[in-house]
Amino acid sequence: MVAGEASGDLHGGALAAALRQRAPWISIVGFGGAAMRRAGVDVRFDIAPMGVVGLIEVLAQWKTIRAAWRRAVALLAEDVHLLILIDYPDFNLRLAKVAKRRGIAVVYYVSPQVWAWRAGRVQVIAKRVDLMLVIFPFEKAIYDAASVPCVFVGHPLMDQVRAPSYASKHAYLKSLGLNPSGTTLALLPGSRKQEVAVLLPRMLAAAGQVAKETPALPPLQCLIPVAPSLSKEGMASWGAASPIPVAFVGGDPTNATATGRPLEGAGTADNGIYDVLGAADVAVVASGTATLQTALAGVPMIVVYKLSWLTWALARLLIRVRSVGLVNIVAGTPCVPELIQMEASPARIGAEIKRLLLDADARAVMQRRLKDVATALGEAGTAHRAADAILKRFPMGNAA
């Protein structure tokens, strides 16, 4: 089982747990992180350094990715009966080719976004993948047309979404050293070092700007969930320079930091994102899976993203969708603002935060649209449906 970034690790952990529940005798090895380890996967390569996006960004991590590639190919030389790939297409589709040459069956869970760009990959997938498990209903028709065996299993987030773990938002904020009556922004800068380094300073600068410009609002403060793939201490260095209170949650609660102080009550296996969102009035979210998590929590949001100029120039030539945020793609029409590249400036982000904080009607309209997005993602049980589909296609009897 091979994941390449934090979200894939979460999906892989849920799938591994479902597989082992049905077939406890199987052994699962691969690439992953904390979630897959908790599910009993023998993780042979920690994926924390692998989560990069874009041509320039990948080149900067080339040595790490090359080492990961060699380790993955070596793993396939062991007694492997089935390869399960989770997202991370540029790496995983190449690995699928190696597996097919060695006679190893391949399952792909969480399809590459062929509906957005590089549609020709469908033909590559047809040659290298024995079973595709898709998470959006519109994806199945694409693979059916290419004669790729495909099952729609629903979105993995439906297995992970939960209500906040606390009974009182007031008590939760107080436990984090924040103002229980303050205006709380959730800042979700992503799960990759590269995107956090670019986006978090912009988000914090925007929050500081809003705090200055809206003195009539309750005092502004920020909550930031830390992905398991990231260092909380490293992220806290940005928070230390913030003019407004900042709390980092997720991971080991003994390492949580808010304005330099140890905190209590921070951290769950899902990096505390639903606790953070449950306490937030508005969220600023890096484009990606987190936009769907925010939609499921019903929190008004602004989607932001910024790539290197070369990567963005190439992307504009290749991408075929109008929206880049998954929340807007699932909605069918834009329902939340997207600030991409030059638009992802502190001034523009701040302006959208102010609009959502001050305009109750705008918040209400957006929350109604987010409910529709949540409905479109399906029902809970995704990992179990995926496990059933895998074991139906590739029965793995108890060798004992």
If you search the block for the tokens 């699932």, which residue do you land on? 330
**Of the candidates 182, 356, 160, 168, the residue with the CA atom closest to the CA atom of residue 278:** 168
pTM of the model: 0.74
Give the pLDDT score at 314: 58
- What superfamily in CATH does domain 169-376 come from? Glycogen Phosphorylase B; (3.40.50.2000)
Full pLDDT tens readout for the chain, 400 residues: 999 888 899 899 999 999 999 999 999 999 999 999 999 999 999 887 565 444 444 555 667 788 889 999 999 999 999 999 999 998 999 999 999 999 999 999 999 988 766 778 999 999 999 999 999 888 999 999 999 999 999 998 898 889 999 999 999 999 999 999 999 999 999 988 888 989 999 999 999 999 999 999 999 999 999 987 677 777 888 888 888 999 999 743 333 333 333 222 233 346 789 999 999 999 999 998 899 999 999 999 999 988 766 665 556 655 655 777 889 988 888 999 999 988 999 999 999 999 999 999 999 999 999 999 999 888 999 999 999 999 999 998 775 4
Buried (b) or exposed (e) across 341-378, using 16+ Cβ within 10 A? Answer: eeebbbebbbbbbbebbeeeeebeebeebbeebbebbb
Architecture of domain 6-160+380-393: 3-Layer(aba) Sandwich (3.40)
Residue 175 contacts residue 263 (beta carbons within 8 Å): yes
6-160+380-393 and 169-376 agree in CATH topology? yes
**Count, residues in the chain:** 400
Q: How far is CA 250 from CA 40, 233, 263, 297, 386, in A?
A: 21, 12, 11, 17, 27
Inter-axis angle of helices 89-101 and 121-128, to 10 degrees? Answer: 40
- Please write the tens of the pLDDT for every residue from 307-339: 766 665 556 655 655 777 889 988 888 999 999
Q: Where are the domains of the chain?
A: 6-160+380-393, 169-376
